[in-house]
Structure 1
């Protein structure tokens, strides 16, 4: 996936200024696809040159250079083309796993504090996801398809964090008793 596809998706949800898009991105897509505001602005420029989006002066901009971005038919076509492709499974590439393997080979390397720290980070993220779920997704059997899909994506994040927390709990138990 490219940043362009994430931005096209977000702009199809709501045409926005670059600043508003970056803020919305941080609160939604940014949970599973990270980009700095600078990267977002650079990508918006590339997408406009490619004919996928257009920018117009924002009517609320006053004397600023604030622009409002919206998706053109070429951008919608690109997003549909990309969405139809098979997506590869993400590879686990975590240097801590190599450190843990080194611990197994060399002997205790004092990784318990790092295991605890990483577990706490996942627990923090899980709390944040659950707070979003409680705030934004109360039980609603009449929820729209879009809303149910957004909740489904959040549930993937919740289950991801729960899985890592369970793994860290097991890893802590192994290292504490090894």
Structure 2
């Protein structure tokens, strides 16, 4: 139960960091949180544009490598949202300073957009609950007998190890220990560290689950628990 609770808290905190809203069904930890809609992509995009004014193409590429790790959006969704944000008066755009060689437009956040982002950031949210079909599969395995989940667990081990390695590479590249961090860099690294801990927690837990099944159900010839 401790591991389930730990994964739940990590998942919830990760969702809060990326601005994820969930419907609140009453009280959470003794604090009444209002029922709120799902966070629009607009807030994530405005955050990225405040970091650097960008064309839609450049914004989408940067988003994939930063906020997109915690708040996924397709490039088509980003372009559509930029148009809605501009129509709402939250951002504006101007021709890229390339002498007219391209049709790129560079987007920036206006005062109205900054005010909207400030209002959203000050609004309380409810932590999201963990929803993962693997938990249901394992409960089903416990209820009706061995379901042969070892291959899926091995696949999950590989996926979590891959994501963990990617986060570690970003940390080494963007936050070298030889440099004294600024406030914004320290906050960005702290968010990244939650991703590191989240993936490490899932990796450890999944390996333990695989070892548990191998203990009770046996290991097929040639199979082993991934390192």
Whether the TM-score (by the shorter chain) exceeds 0.5 is: yes
* TM-score for both structures, normalised by structure 2: 0.75
Distance (whole Å) between structure 2 residues aligned to residue 151 and residue 115 of structure 1:
29
- How far residue 63 of structure 1 moved from its aligned partner, in angstroms, is 4.6
Cα distance, 1:59 vs. partner?
1.9
Show the 5 A alignment for 1:52-71: 52-60=90-98, 62-71=100-109
Show structure 1 runs of 4+ deviating over 4 A.
Answer: none
2:138 paired with 1:100? yes
SS at match of 1:33: coil
Relative to structure 1, is the Cα distance of residues 50 and 116 closer, same or farther in structure 2, using a 3 angstrom cutoff? same
Which sections of structure 2, spanning at least 5 residues, go unmatched? 1-38, 217-227
Output aligned runs, 1:130-169, within 5 Å: 130-140=168-178, 142-169=180-207
- Supply the RMSD in Å over aligned alpha carbons: 1.3
Q: What is the distance in 1 between the residues matched to 2:99 and 2:167?
A: 33
User: Is residue 103 of structure 2 the alignment partner of residue 82 of structure 1?
Assistant: no
Secondary structure at 1:56's aligned position in 2?
strand
* TM-score computed with the length of structure 1 as normaliser: 0.95
5+ residue gaps, structure 1: none
1:171 aligns with 2:209: yes
Change (3 A) 1:45 1:61: farther
How far residue 49 of structure 1 moved from its aligned partner, in angstroms, is 0.9
Which structure's relative contact order is higher, taking Cα pairs within 8 Å and 6+ residues apart?
2
How many pairs were matched up? Answer: 178
Matched with 1:19 is 57
